[in-house]
Amino acid sequence: MRNQSDCPQNMKVSIFTKTLDFPKEEMELLWSRLNKRETFCKGQPFPYHVEFETGLSEGNFTEGELNIHHGPMLSVHGTIGSIAENYRSLYYFYGSYVLSFRLVRPTLLEFSRNENNDQLTVKLTVFIKPWFEGLWKFGNGLFWSFFRGTLK
């Protein structure tokens, strides 16, 4: 069963990557938080919301768990992919969008940490209108920089 389409002809695949440095002594706690539902469910500014099909809002993610992050101009629904010691993925379903389905369609969100346990990398793959890619990457650079603070 497929969960995503091929990239539409009028869009392109765009990959945003950001690596954040953390002290080694903080990384275990940060990594643990990235793998818990409450990190994404609590503290969402109204009217945005993250929910899981299990109805749970706390505890560790499980592989294959369905979820949705929604609000004005945002509907990104998918399934938790791999969960490993240094890697976690989230596959977005066909129909997910940011701003508009015609503009940005997220397909994959990945978190990984390096072997030294002092860097966290965020990788977000989307289908996007080519003219919007520069603004998208600029906005994501800001967003993920602020996201860093929510992990502490």
Amino acid 24: pLDDT: 86
**Position 2 in a domain:** no
CA distance 28 to 117: 8
User: Length of the chain in residues, anyone?
Assistant: 152
CA distance 17 to 123: 4
Residues 6+ apart with CB under 8 A from 17: 121, 122, 123, 124
Structural contact between residues 130 and 12, judged by C-beta atoms closer than 8 angstroms: yes
Structural contact between residues 98 and 109, judged by C-beta atoms closer than 8 angstroms: no
CATH code for position 54: 3.30.530.20
Q: Which residue has the tokens 């609590």?
A: 42
**Position 82 in a domain:** yes
**Position 6 in a domain:** no
**Closest to 87 (Cα-Cα) out of 50, 38, 123:** 123
pLDDT digits (tens, 9 = 90+) for 35-78: 999 988 887 889 999 999 999 999 999 999 999 999 999 999 99
Domain around 145: 12-150
pLDDT digits (tens, 9 = 90+) for 76-128: 999 999 999 999 999 999 999 999 999 999 999 999 999 888 899 999 999 99
pLDDT digits (tens, 9 = 90+) for 131-145: 999 999 999 999 888
Helix (H), strand (E), coil (C) string for 27-94: HHHHHHHHCEHHHHHCCCCCCCEEEECCCCCCCECCCCCEEEEEECCEEEEEEEEEECCCEEEEEECC
How many domains, the chain? Answer: 1
**Position 17 in a domain:** yes
**Position 7 in a domain:** no
